[in-house]
Amino acid sequence: MEFYRALSEYYDEIFPLKGVQKTFLHDYLKQESLTSVLDIGCGTGTLALEISQNGIRTLGVDLSEEMIEISNRKAQTTGSTAAFSVADMRDLSSITEPFEGIVCLGNTLAHVSGESGLKQVLTQFWKKGTHLLIQIVNYDRILAKQVKTLPTIKTEHLIFQRFYTHRADGKLDFSMKIEFPVSGQVVSGLNRLFPIKYDLLKKALAETGWEVSEVWGSYAKEPWTEDSSATVLSAKRIPE
């Protein structure tokens, strides 16, 4: 699709890895002494490339072939040891090697179909790693306040806008628009999201063999509240 080709091309410009996120990530990796990480929904590979700099064996996977193509190109250019491949988080059977850490950031988890789909994905994660780090939008706030727009992102080359439509079935239609002021081009796309509230996420984790370790409301490690901008959560696999 035209929109996702455009998004992949400008993804790093729209969503650069910020200092607070980088600090949080390195603190987490050091705290848990992880030597291998599977990055689910890796996008253009920025996070996986950062992780691999610590000598950590890293594999980034994404459903988008365009994103993985860019990730591989960046790894080759920088000489990174990080590897990348196309994979669906709902079925990770093609990944045969085990990992200590699973990271699923950038609201990737909200692309599940519903509660059963959430449990399916968390079970896949359980089979692949012993430590789990998740970050999603705080949907408790989005639903309670009926939030319809997210802050507009303006860069040197584009304007990126995001909108929510609250559906009667409880899901969200998430529409995105990229405007290129110089050329006048506009591309748009839409995803249907399952808004995962905090209590539901904890319940699903417990039912799929995970024990929650810590929860924050941002990468700055602020305490989580219903008004937090994000839900950032770490968990550990409960042995069978």
**What pLDDT is stored for residue 138 in this prediction?**
98
pTM, 2 dp = 0.96
Q: At how many degrees (to 10) do helices 115-128 and 198-207 cross?
A: 50
Nearest alpha carbon to residue 121 among 102, 138, 140: 102
| Every domain of the chain and the residues it spans | 13-138+195-237, 142-193
Total length of the chain:
240
Question: Right CATH number for 142-193 from 2.60.40, 2.20.25, 1.10.3470, 3.40.50?
Answer: 2.20.25
CATH no. of 13-138+195-237: 3.40.50.150
- Evaluate whether 194 touches 162 at the Cβ level (below 8 Å): no
**What pLDDT is stored for residue 6 in this prediction?**
81
Stretches in the chain below the pLDDT threshold 70: 1-2
